[in-house]
Structure 1
Amino acid sequence: MLSVLSPVSGTAVGLSEVPDPVFAQGMVGPGTAILPRNGRQEAVAPIAGRVAKLHAHAFVVVGEGGRGVLVHLGIDTVKLNGEGFERLVDEGADVEAGQPLIRWDPAEVAAKGMATVVPVVALDAGHDVISRAVAGEVEKGSQLFQWA
């Protein structure tokens, strides 16, 4: 069982509440989402592993057994071209679960008219492999869900 940590602090909600049909309908994979608290914060690695993809607004960490977790900071934030996001590691870096990867401020994203919700998705996973998903308030670095 792989414990997937919350990359940000906020309120955990279902993927169905993400205002993007690709995430909301689970096309990317199963998982959950977080409505982040406003204020500058660091998004942390949800699992230990290697940073397989690193954009200013999103990252994938691939852990033991090749399981990858995608974290997307806001919706349509790719349009910001990195503005308001600070990378704290390089793509290809080996990271520990809970290690800060990107610094950002959800209030700045919201001020630009974009949704701040943070989908956290188990890539290439069946919908039945996610369990014990947390609902309500969650702190970054605490367990968000388990991946069988």
Structure 2
Amino acid sequence: MNFQVTVLKILVSYPDGFAVMEDLKRDMAILATSGRDWADRTRRLATRVPDLDIFSQGLVDRGSGGWKITPKGRAVLKYMESRATAELSHPPTIVEVAAVEPTMVPSLRQSTDRAKRRSERRERRRESRARARATAS
């Protein structure tokens, strides 16, 4: 599995392209254990931009307890996923890709009660596991 492609794919799936480290780790674990299809897909996408380095090329910003995909990162991911890429004789550099696809993605407001919903979900899971243990005994 290509770590950098996976990070881009995960971040683009979140509202505003931002995910806290806990969510990133969870999603990475799910994808890492999802089977060979995901590993093959990320490997194939990574070959389209062989010099990919998400942090030094400014595709992902680190901060505030999480990572956020930049517009340049969205453009590179879109390029990697496009079918026309396979027809090119040489893979372009990250600068060329970002120049071709400048995107202005409107930011979505993150919910202010996200942490509250997450803790409620955790509590429901705990209760569910406790009930399952009690009925299994």
TM-score (norm 1): 0.25
Structure with the largest fraction of strand: 1
TM-score (norm 2): 0.26
Highest CA radius of gyration, 1 or 2?
2
**Larger RCO of the pair (alpha carbons < 8 Å, separation 6+):** 1
